[in-house]
Amino acid sequence: MKRNKWGAMGLASLLLASLLGGCSSGKSASDTSTNAGNAANAEEKVTLRFSWWGGEDRHAATLAAIEAYKQVEPGVTIEAEYQGFDGYEQKIKTQLAGKTSADIMQLDLPWLQELTKKGDFFVDLKAQPEFDASGFDQGFLDNYGMYDGKLAAVPTGVNAYCLIINKSLADKLNVDSAAQWTWDSLLEAGKQLHAQDSSKYLLLTDHAALRQDMVTMLKQRTGKQWVQEDYTLGFTKEDAAASFDWLYQAMQAGVYQPLGESDLFFGKIDQNPKWINQEIPIAPSMSSILPSLKTVLPEGTEVITALPVIAKDAKDSGVLVRPSQLFAVSNDSAHKAEAVKFLSWFMNDPGAAAILGDVRSVPPVKASQEAAVTAGKIDAAITNAVELGLSHAGLVDNAVANNSEVQKIMDDIVQKVSYGKSNAEQAADELIASLTSKLKDLQDRE
């Protein structure tokens, strides 16, 4: 299915009304509104498994919501299976293949796009009377949850790629936290900061963030997807070489922490000592990561958000707005109706929203947004990131560009350039050759 560039007018107005207005749905945030239908406690006891990844703040809030559900359905026990990001994707794919997956699971968008092509793994939520999808923006569901006419998953939140800035540290280091960065100005500021103090770097990163930077540069240079839906490339060798040359210069100048150090914290950048010890002021990341990054800093540290880097002559903003993650119910669940009912409560209930707040960025359901705002559980910095993302949204990533095998090619070449093992011309040649071969292979599998 073709995904549209939903620059977000419908979703933006829905979010802005809830977030800027600070409005309430007329219900107390502590009111657990779904008290009807306690069928499970009157009949058989049901045990459901719920799997997700995240940081400690997400774990704590999700566990608290699970505990609250006991008051709604005393006969249902939710077994929590949670961890960090590293290794989660492989676990989920292995479990789905072996029919041992959790009943309810958190997924990343690229995995869902791949998995829906490989099998009928997920319940069609649209066909389930227990699931209420009326509060979601229909365009958001169509772009990210619908596959072959089925609602395979629902967004957990609205997520925007942004700069997460430790403003307290940026001010101390004379880094302009109000700047709208271009690639040139970022390179110069990072070079100056590291030259003044070699222990300081401007940007927190891991190889996934560097890949995102390279993909963003290509979109901005061309106004196209870097890999297109017809399995062709959306860029030239010149485009790729210019992007890799910028990365090489940035690494050599100390704009980023060396990848050999930063990648020790791949998927858990909030645990990087350089961030915790306030030696890096800016983290390019998705808005949903902000709570984890903020929690590890000293109390009173001011953390703000800003637009990501946009080239001054950009043909597309490259600003990524997408679901934080997605929730799906396994087709192999022995208790589909109960799993769907729990997921509907988790996404729609104001009491659940007041507990969960912004641990998966801004909730995608209007009533949940309102309840979280009323409860004071949405950080203003996350609100800002999402508003900026919606108003500057770039191209929607297609399934081919998000394919894990395609992304791994970029990952590998980014690492070679970062370690100085490949120059810009070599990297561009390798990227084009490797992608051309892989895309033919993927197309032949269709």
pLDDT of residue 19: 55
pLDDT of residue 86: 87
Is 46-152+323-391 in CATH node 3.40.190.10?
A: yes
pLDDT of residue 40: 44
Q: Tokens 């309430």 label which residue?
A: 24
Q: What is the DSSP string of 30-47?
A: T--------HHHHS--EE
As given in the structure block, the two tokens for residue 201 are 């770097």
Q: Are 424 and 220 in contact (CB under 8 A)?
A: no
Q: Is the pLDDT of residue 441 over 80?
A: yes
What mean pLDDT comes out for the span 98-118?
Answer: 93
Q: Tokens 């993650």 label which residue?
A: 325
Q: Which residues contact 61 (CB under 8 A, 6 or more apart)?
A: 355, 356, 357, 359
- Cα–Cα distance between 272 and 283 in angstroms, integer? 11
Eight-class DSSP state of 271: G
Q: Is the pLDDT of residue 29 over 50?
A: no
Query: How many residues does this entry show for the chain?
Result: 446
What mean pLDDT comes out for the span 52-67?
Answer: 95
Per-residue CA distances from 342 to 187, 252, 266, 267 (Å): 48, 50, 32, 28
| R_g over Cα of the chain | 22
Which value, to the nearest 10 degrees, does the dihedral of the CA atoms of residues 296, 359, 285, 258 take?
A: 30
pLDDT tier for residue 11 given thresholds of 50, 70 and 90: low
Q: Are 5 and 397 in contact (CB under 8 A)?
A: no
Which contiguous run of DSSP H or E holds residue 285? strand 282-286
Is 65 in a helix, a strand, or coil? helix
pLDDT > 90: percent of the chain? 79
- Cα–Cα distance between 413 and 160 in angstroms, integer? 25
Weakest mean pLDDT among 5-14, 386-395, 432-441:
5-14
Q: Is the pLDDT of residue 1 over 80?
A: no
pLDDT tier for residue 445 given thresholds of 50, 70 and 90: confident
Q: Are 403 and 442 in contact (CB under 8 A)?
A: yes
Chain mean pLDDT for the chain: 90
- Candidates 288, 284, 287; CA nearest to 209 is 284
Instruction: Report the predicted TM-score, pTM, of the whole model to 2 decimal places.
Output: 0.79
Q: Are 144 and 350 in contact (CB under 8 A)?
A: no
Q: Are 11 and 142 in contact (CB under 8 A)?
A: no
Q: Is the pLDDT of residue 22 over 80?
A: no
Eight-class DSSP state of 135: T
pLDDT of residue 177: 95
Same CATH fold assignment for domains 46-152+323-391 and 160-320+397-444: yes
Per-residue exposure over 114-129, b if at least 16 CB sit within 10 Å of its own CB, e if not: bbbeeeebbbbbeebe
Per-residue CA distances from 418 to 93, 143, 248, 282, 380 (Å): 30, 34, 6, 19, 34
Per-residue CA distances from 74 to 59, 70, 342, 345 (Å): 21, 5, 12, 14
- Cα–Cα distance between 368 and 294 in angstroms, integer? 23
Q: What are phi and psi of 51, to 5 degrees?
A: -115, 135
Q: Is the pLDDT of residue 145 over 70?
A: yes
Domain range list for the chain = 46-152+323-391, 160-320+397-444
- Cα–Cα distance between 218 and 226 in angstroms, integer? 6
pLDDT tier for residue 6 given thresholds of 50, 70 and 90: very low
Q: Which residues contact 64 (CB under 8 A, 6 or more apart)?
A: 355
Q: Is the pLDDT of residue 108 over 70?
A: yes
Beta strands 303-306 and 326-329, pairing class: unpaired
* 409 residue type, one letter: I
* 100 residue type, one letter: T
- Candidates 433, 364, 361; CA nearest to 164 is 361
Per-residue exposure over 94-113, b if at least 16 CB sit within 10 Å of its own CB, e if not: ebbeeeebbbbbbbbbbbbb
CATH number of 160-320+397-444: 3.40.190.10
Weakest mean pLDDT among 28-37, 133-142, 163-172, 294-303:
28-37
Which contiguous run of DSSP H or E holds residue 162? strand 158-166
Which value, to the nearest 10 degrees, does the dihedral of the CA atoms of residues 329, 331, 334, 338 take?
A: 30
The 10s digit of each residue's pLDDT in 391-411 is 899 998 888 998 989 999 999
Weakest mean pLDDT among 73-87, 296-310, 320-334, 393-407:
393-407
pLDDT of residue 210: 96
The 10s digit of each residue's pLDDT in 240-276 is 999 999 999 999 999 999 999 999 999 899 999 999 9
